[in-house]
């Protein structure tokens, strides 16, 4: 039986005129309704919203914790497998012979900035510190929290959450979208990644549902990142002398949240209007340079040798434990306070939360990675989008977090860093290091971190707005999307504000875990579709059948 040529045409109905000209009305309007209802619900009835979201979150964690753990392990296996599979690894994510649009430096900068650059400034210090105090080994009595024998455990778990699993979620989406959009000529939207399984049916209702799920997951995933970023941004503004943005407990006030979001979303909307090749590219390059400066400060003036040891020993422990950590699920016995109960609770707070976060973030980062990776091979994509960023995260955690731990253990910090709020820990640490030398230096470093945080937040927000508009416009990134950039910029800011007001970052976390669940099933189907497509392309090549859309 002769093998057929691949599907290279997936028409998606868009409006011919009016405000939604060029947009899929079904995807755009339904997505706006869902997000609008969420915003109104959280702002008008914050207590009710918090209770309902909390109940849903508990049910999902009780029933799907194992699913989240195992599905991310599956994504890692798929990405690594595709990179070493000869038929797949050499394939160009574009037409044969096509060259990349961006330099390696700009490519890495945009990946890191849009991916998890914001979270890095909060969690590179806060997470090793948190696991240094408590982790499964301390719960089981193997190590002692807050002591030197727990340092290795702190890094093993930190590297797990920000390593290969995180970037595999992004890479799965990015690979799928780039493959089907640039080799097949299909729309740059999530539904295109499922064509080997469902074919032309994705032009209709099924494809519409897939894209709506992706838009909602994207908004909630980015809202999680912006929620953490807003807290830290307010803490930074307070550190550099701008008052009135925090409440009596030192947390961001409603006024502080509004001010921060107006600044961030205003700048991100202007950047999004300029497109990927201008505003986002330049912002990404700026925040990469500032990141190198800040990281260099920690490496040279922080706990240099402590961080070096944490990096290599932590990496060894992580890689050795990765197979077991990737599949292990802690089961609760239902007895409050028991060891099994605490272990399951800890896993819900940390790995399950992170896997949901990365999955919710995946349509945004994946589509963005696809957009900036045209012309690269699958093997190059996996190396650049999965392994290199993981190593960058490990370096940050080793020297930023390592400096905090070393200052508390050996440097006389006496709780100054550990007792600070998560978003304020990096500011507390740099002030402790520099204030005795010169208060002006401490202020200058706090200002640098605020600027870096601002560029990361703007890069994430404007990239997300562009990606949502691309999905809504059936994969078209043309200028007709510009009026809707204003709407989604405002909508994203309101989602963050509404969830923060209704329950702080915990409410955002809850909504995000819920929104990630349906998209995790879509991602599994994307993996299966990609494997099927590459296998069939190998058969097509052997039979002399074209595997890419004809070049224009």
Q: What is the CATH number of the domain that holds 357?
A: 1.20.1740
For residues 155 and 423, what is the distance between their CA atoms, to the nearest angstrom?
19
Helix 388-396 crosses helix 104-115 at what angle (to 10 degrees)? 60
Q: Check: CB of residue 218 under 8 Å from CB of residue 464.
A: yes
For residues 459 and 467, what is the distance between their CA atoms, to the nearest angstrom?
12
**Residue at 5 is within a domain:** no
Q: Is the dihedral of CA 190, 500, 72, 62 positive or negative?
A: negative
Residues β-bridged to residue 306: none
For residues 117 and 97, what is the distance between their CA atoms, to the nearest angstrom?
32
Q: Determine how many CB atoms are found less than 10 A away from the CB of residue 478.
A: 10
pLDDT attached to residue 351 = 93
**Residue at 552 is within a domain:** no
Helix, coil or strand: residue 246? strand
Q: Check: CB of residue 519 under 8 Å from CB of residue 75.
A: no
Q: Check: CB of residue 136 under 8 Å from CB of residue 328.
A: no
pLDDT attached to residue 114 = 53
pLDDT attached to residue 323 = 94
Three-state SS for 490-531 is HHHHHHHHHHHHHHHHHHHHHHHHHHHHHHHHHHHHHHHHHH
How far, CA to CA in Å, does 313 sit from each of 3, 27, 318, 380, 389? Answer: 51, 48, 9, 27, 19
Close Cβ partners of 306 (under 8 Å, ≥ 6 residues apart): 402, 403, 405, 406
pLDDT attached to residue 454 = 82
**Residue at 548 is within a domain:** no
For residues 315 and 393, what is the distance between their CA atoms, to the nearest angstrom?
11
| Interior angle at CA 143, CA 139 and CA 149, nearest 5 | 145
Q: Which residues of the chain have pLDDT under 50?
A: 276-277
**How many domains does the chain divide into?**
1
Q: Check: CB of residue 120 under 8 Å from CB of residue 396.
A: yes
Give 186-210 pLDDT, tens digit per residue.
998 999 999 999 999 999 999 999 9
**Residue at 370 is within a domain:** yes
Close Cβ partners of 91 (under 8 Å, ≥ 6 residues apart): 179, 183, 377, 378, 534, 537
**Residue at 158 is within a domain:** yes
For residues 33 and 336, what is the distance between their CA atoms, to the nearest angstrom?
40
**Residue at 549 is within a domain:** no
Domain that holds residue 148: 25-542
**Residue at 490 is within a domain:** yes
Give 126-144 pLDDT, tens digit per residue.
999 999 999 999 999 999 9
DSSP character for 478?
S
For residue 504, give both structure tokens: 């702080």
**Residue at 32 is within a domain:** yes
């Amino acid at each position: 039986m002769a093998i057929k040529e691949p599907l290279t045409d997936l028409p998606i109905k868009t409006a011919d005129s009016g405000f939604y000209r060029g947009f899929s009305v079904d995807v755009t309007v339904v997505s706006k309704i869902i997000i609008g209802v969420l915003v109104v619900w959280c702002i008008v009835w914050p207590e009710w919203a918090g209770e309902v979201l909390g109940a849903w979150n508990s049910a999902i964690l009780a029933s799907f914790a194992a699913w989240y753990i195992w599905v991310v392990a599956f994504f890692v296996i798929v990405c690594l497998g595709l990179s070493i599979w000869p038929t797949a690894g050499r394939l160009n994510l574009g037409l044969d012979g096509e060259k990349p649009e961006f330099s390696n430096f700009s490519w890495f900068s945009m990946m890191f900035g849009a991916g998890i650059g914001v979270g890095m400034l909060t969690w590179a210090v806060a997470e090793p510190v948190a696991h240094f105090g408590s982790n499964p080994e301390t719960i089981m009595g193997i190590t002692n929290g807050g002591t030197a024998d727990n340092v290795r455990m702190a890094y093993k778990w930190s590297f797990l959450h920000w390593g290969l699993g995180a970037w595999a979620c992004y890479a799965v989406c990015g690979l799928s979208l780039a493959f089907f959009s640039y080799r097949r000529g299909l729309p740059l939207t999530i539904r295109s990644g499922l064509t080997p399984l469902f074919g032309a049916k994705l032009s209709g209702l099924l494809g519409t549902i897939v894209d709506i799920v992706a838009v909602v997951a994207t908004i909630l995933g980015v809202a999680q990142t912006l929620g953490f970023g807003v807290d830290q941004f307010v803490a930074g503004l307070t550190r550099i002398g701008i008052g009135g943005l925090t409440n009596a407990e030192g947390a961001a006030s409603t006024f502080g949240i509004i001010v921060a979001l107006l600044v961030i979303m205003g700048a991100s909307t202007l950047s999004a209007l300029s497109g990927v090749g201008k505003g986002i590219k330049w912002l990404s390059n700026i925040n990469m340079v500032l990141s190198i400066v800040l990281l260099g400060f920690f490496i040279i003036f922080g706990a240099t040798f402590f961080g070096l040891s944490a990096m290599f020993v932590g990496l060894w422990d992580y890689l050795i434990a990765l197979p077991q950590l990737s599949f292990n699920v802690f089961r609760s016995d239902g007895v409050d306070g028991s060891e099994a109960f605490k272990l399951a609770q800890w896993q819900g707070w940390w790995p399950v939360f992170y896997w949901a976060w990365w999955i919710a973030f995946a349509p945004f980062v994946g589509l963005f990675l696809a957009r900036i990776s045209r012309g690269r091979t699958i093997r190059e994509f996996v190396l650049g989008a999965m392994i290199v960023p993981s190593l960058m995260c490990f370096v940050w955690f080793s020297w930023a977090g390592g400096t905090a731990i070393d200052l508390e253990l050996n440097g006389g910090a006496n709780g100054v860093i550990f007792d600070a709020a998560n978003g304020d820990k990096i500011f507390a640490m740099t002030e402790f290091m520099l204030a005795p030398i010169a208060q002006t230096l401490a202020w200058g470093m706090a200002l640098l971190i605020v600027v870096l945080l601002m560029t990361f937040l703007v890069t994430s927000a404007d990239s997300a707005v562009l990606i949502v508009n691309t999905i809504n416009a059936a994969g078209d990134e043309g200028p007709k999307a510009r009026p809707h950039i204003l709407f989604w910029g405002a909508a994203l800011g309101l989602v963050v504000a509404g969830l923060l007001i209704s329950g702080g970052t915990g409410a955002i976390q809850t909504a995000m875990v819920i929104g990630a669940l349906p998209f995790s099933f879509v991602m599994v189907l994307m993996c299966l579709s990609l494997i099927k497509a590459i296998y069939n392309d190998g058969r097509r090549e052997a039979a002399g059948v074209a595997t890419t859309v004809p070049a224009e």
